[in-house]
A and B are shown apart, each in its own frame.
Chain A
Amino acid sequence: MDLRKTKPLHLVTPVWNRGTRGIRGLSRAVAPEGSQKKGRSLLQFLADRFYDVQALREYLLRKQVLKVHQKNRPFTYIKERFGPHAAGAYFILKQGGAVKFQGKEWIRSDARGHFSLDFLKFQAVPVEAVDASGCAINYQGLDSLLALKELQSLWLQRCPHVDDWCLGRLHPLANSLQELSLAGCPRISERGLASLHHLQNLRRLDISDLPAVSNPGLTRILVEEMLPSCQVLGADWAQGLPSGPEEQSRDTASPIPA
């Protein structure tokens, strides 16, 4: 994961980063006036558990990673009871995304993360579209999606944990997948995009705003050559060099000066 973007690290850095201050330095930072006793037991806890400040920070870092892992655990129970489609839908809704079962309306969670469980009754109805934009889905979490054998549209816009390794395992969806959006994913590069050639039924692919792609214009052309029957949205050839932040919806009709 991107270590620079982990929040608690930012919180911690100014306090802990003054060399190895040792546990004593900590007391002032962590336990302010008043809660003396609490502070001491905290110190005891820390001293028992941690080698030094460095180790504590490593621990915090690991916890960050663990949190993402936890969010991506499969819901085995639901899968066994209600089948892969309901399980996939439940996973995505839990993550804050939206799903569409064949012939039904889009289902999404409300502002507080609640959603109706009516879809558990759909049983054999397959999921045909998933919008996981902005979700914390990662390599492991993809398991739930790969089981959706009739998935036609998949939006993974701005997903912070979707990387080249994830793209490398989309091939089981090759038979059904027609539309894929990866716009704004910070960790996708041209290396991962190369593996999309497995998805021969793709009709629409959005690869705009990928900051990790070294040469967006050229990459887009190469992806177009690789997937001849697919419309590829992304940087123009002229935009060989990465520019500032771009609009979300792009004008797809713009011709490509070749």
Chain B
Amino acid sequence: MLRRALQPGLSRGVLGRGLGTHRGRSTLDQNGKVPEIKKKVQSVLPGGAWNPLHDTSYLPPEHSDVVIVGGGVIGLSVAYWLKRLEKPRGAIRVLVVERDHTYSQASTALSVGGIRQQFSVPENIQLSLFSVEFLRNINEYLAVVDDPPLDIQFNPSGYLLLASEKGAAVMESNVKVQRQEGAKVCLMSPEQLRNKFPWINTEGVALASYGMEHEGWFDPWCLLQGLRRKVQSMGVLFCHGEVTRFVSSSSHTKTTSGEEVTLRRIHEVHVKMDRSLEYQPVECALVINAAGAWSGQIAELAGVGKGPPGTLQGTKLPVELRKRYVYLWHCPQGPGLETPFVMDAGGAYFRREGLGNNYLGGCSPTEEEEPDPGNLEVDHDFFQDKVWPPLAQRVPAFETLKVRSAWAGYYDYNTFDQNGVVGPHPLVVNMYFATGFSGHGLQQAPAVGRAVAEMVLDGHFQTINLSPFLFNRFYLGEKVQEHNII
């Protein structure tokens, strides 16, 4: 199914009425032979509409109202909500530019699929609650006539967060906020913990919080693929290429306090086609930066952060690549079917994977331990030194285990406060962000897409007020104080 969803030529959506598709000029007609071959192929093939040689759908159109950079969950969710909330239908043309259709490095495909409401900032809890409702009804939101229903494979197993004595008070107040927002979370004493999960060693645990509903993990691929299939049926255009340049104009104005500011507006996005030196300019009214871990570079291309330090102009988008390892191990004596997604006080985490006593988990490195993000190679010593010891201490059964496999992926890491950046840039007026989610972007994607679409279409947030996540906070130095970052 995935392969089908990824095949641009098969998309039905672009044939939909009312789009008035402006196709890009074909770069295939290099020496004029293509039309000839095309005719030949056509005479041989029995009446199929799909013709590989005529397929120019991989080329971007010459203009598009909205260009979304990055076709991961976030970019696709923005595309979905733009099309869903647009009025009238077919009013705006949306193009998603993705450079890697195999998603080999995209965070979406490499995440561990967790969703929880155990955050401390109300907006993060609301985002997750919205997303969980979306996932539960995914076959209503993302239904495509004649396509099979999606199986999101949600495991309603809950998150179990453990706190040391030092962290207990904070945990208690967090849970209070979570409950106020409607999350079903309960607090547990070490004694209760031992009764419920006898395989946990409660040494050093003063308090635990446990999600009774709406928490667990799901299949990120399924969400990605479901979104792709749906937005294609809604008429969103896809293009396989890399955004390499923005053409923008600037104007100078003075603020009321007499400060000189330069406003920029992007007019054109240059998309470099895969395996070719050619690029195609796409005229656009608005750019959504949903390039995940690479969104810092995209912001830079648009001139964000180019200015004297300390000014709004000189404020960079603080999103970087950060490499995170995930290990999959087998442990015959390990905890059973009831195993939740466990987050230890020290930051190590694990969850069950399937039925065969397999588990996966990891731990975020400290700032000093941060590995070089130049490649996605796995450091196996990191498991031995940093992940295994705390986990074996917490779950004694893990003293004997066998690592089966491992992978690494990139967090779209916001170095400022590890939270999402959502909404427009104050100076590059038509660039909107949806990035920087630092390890919880997958679960927020459905809700964030909606928030960005509301911002674009209505000029303000409607469903969830995400103003604390605006870019301005980097300039103002106002951190989003989220305690529960993995």
Interface of A toward B, CB cutoff 8 Å: 1-4, 9, 13, 17, 20, 51-52, 54, 57-58, 61-62, 65, 139, 164-165, 167-169, 171, 189-195, 197-198, 214-215, 218-219, 222-223, 225-226
When the two chains form their complex, are residues B143 and A61 in contact, meaning their CB atoms are under 8 A apart?
yes
Provide the residues of chain B in CB contact with A218, threshold 8 Å.
355
A168 in contact with B18 (CB, 8 Å): no
Instruction: List residues of chain B with CB within 8 A of the CB of A192.
Output: 156
Across the interface, A194 reaches (CB within 8 A) one of B136, B148, B155, namely B155
Query: A190 contacts B355, CB within 8 Å?
Result: yes
Nearest chain B residue, comparing its CB with the CB of A191:
B155
In the bound complex, residues from chain A placing their C-beta under 8 Å from that of B140 are 1, 62, 65
Cross-chain contact B143 with A225 (CB below 8 angstroms): no
Q: Which A residues lie within 8 Å of B25 (CB)?
A: none
Is the CB–CB distance between A165 and B136 below 8 Å?
Answer: yes
- List the 6 closest A-B pairs by CB distance, nearest first: A168-B156, A197-B338, A222-B337, A194-B337, A191-B155, A57-B145
Is the CB–CB distance between B145 and A58 below 8 Å?
A: yes
Determine whether the beta carbon of A222 is less than 8 Å from that of B355.
yes
Judge whether B154 is part of the interface by a CB distance below 8 angstroms. Answer: yes
Q: Which residues of A contact B214 (CB under 8 A)?
A: 168
Residues of B in contact, count (CB < 8 Å): 31
Select from chain B the residue with minimum beta-carbon distance to A51: B89
Residue B385 lies at the interface, judged by CB distance under 8 Å to chain A: no
| Residues in B neighbouring A1, C-beta threshold 8 A | 139-140, 149
A190 to B17, CA, bound (A): 43
- Distance in angstroms between the alpha carbons of A168 and B18 in the assembled complex: 43
* Docked CA distance A68–B176 (Å): 35
Contact status A194-B16, CB under 8 Å: no
For A17, A54, A190, A215, the residue with the greatest tally of chain B CB atoms inside 10 Å of its CB is A54
CA gap between A54 and B232 in the complex, in Å: 13
A226 and B336 contact, Cβ closer than 8 Å, known pairs A1-B139, A171-B212: yes
When the two chains form the complex, which single residue of A3, A58, A139, A215 contacts B355, counting CB atoms closer than 8 Å? A215
Q: B89: shortest Cβ distance to chain A, in Å? A: 6
What would 30 A/B residue contacts be, using CB atoms closer than 8 Å? Answer: A1-B139, A2-B149, A3-B143, A4-B148, A4-B149, A51-B18, A51-B89, A52-B16, A54-B145, A58-B143, A61-B145, A62-B140, A164-B156, A168-B214, A168-B216, A169-B213, A171-B212, A190-B337, A191-B153, A191-B154, A191-B157, A193-B337, A194-B155, A194-B156, A194-B338, A219-B355, A222-B337, A225-B337, A226-B336, A226-B337
Q: Which of chain A's residues has its CB closest to B12's CB?
A: A54
Instruction: Scan B201-217; emit 1 where CB is below 8 A from any A CB, else 0.
Output: 00000000000111010
Q: Is the CB of A194 within 8 A of B157?
A: yes
User: Given the complex, which residues of B lie within 8 Å of A54, measured CB to CB?
Assistant: 16, 145, 233
Is B146 an interface residue when CB atoms closer than 8 A count as contact?
Answer: yes
How distant is the Cα of A20 from the Cα of B158 in the complex, in angstroms? Answer: 45
Residues of chain A lying within 8 A (CB to CB) of residue B153: 189, 191
Interface of A is mostly: helix
Whether A3 pairs with B16 at a CB distance below 8 angstroms is no
Decide if A226 touches B338 in the complex (CB within 8 Å): yes
Neighbouring A residues of B233 by C-beta, 8 Å: 54
B15 close to chain A: CB less than 8 A: yes
> Which of A164, A189, A218 has most chain B Cβ within 10 Å?
A164
Residues of B within 8 A of A195 (CB): 156-158
**Complex alpha-carbon distance, A118 and B15, angstroms:** 59
- CB of B212 within 8 A of CB of A198, answer yes
Other A-B contacts than A65-B143, A168-B214, A169-B213, 16 sampled, CB-CB below 8 A, are A1-B139, A3-B139, A3-B148, A4-B148, A54-B233, A61-B145, A65-B140, A167-B156, A194-B156, A194-B338, A195-B157, A214-B355, A219-B355, A222-B336, A222-B337, A226-B338
Please indicate the chain A residues that have their CB under 8 angstroms from the CB of B89 in the complex.
Answer: 51
Residues of B within 8 A of A65 (CB): 140, 143
The residue on B at minimum CB distance from A193 is B337
**CB proximity of B226 to chain A, nearest CB, Å:** 12
Q: How far is the CA of A167 from the CA of B149 in the complex (A)?
A: 20
Query: In whole angstroms, how far apart are the Cα atoms of A191 and B353 in the complex?
Result: 10
Partner of B337 from A139, A165, A197 at Cβ < 8 Å: A197
**Nearest chain B CB to A242's CB is how many angstroms away?**
14
Residues of B within 8 A of A193 (CB): 337
CA distance A62 to B338 in the complex (A): 35
- Among residues of B, the one whose C-beta sits closest to the C-beta of A22 is B17
For the complex, what is the distance from the CA of A58 to the CA of B146, rounded to whole Å? 10
Per the bound structure, the CA–CA distance linking A190 and B147 in Å amounts to: 25
Question: Which residues of chain A are near B352, meaning CB under 8 Å?
Answer: 194
Residues of A close to B212: CB separation below 8 A: 171, 198
Task: For B139, list chain A residues within 8 Å (CB).
Answer: 1-3
Q: Which residues of A contact B136 (CB under 8 A)?
A: 139, 165
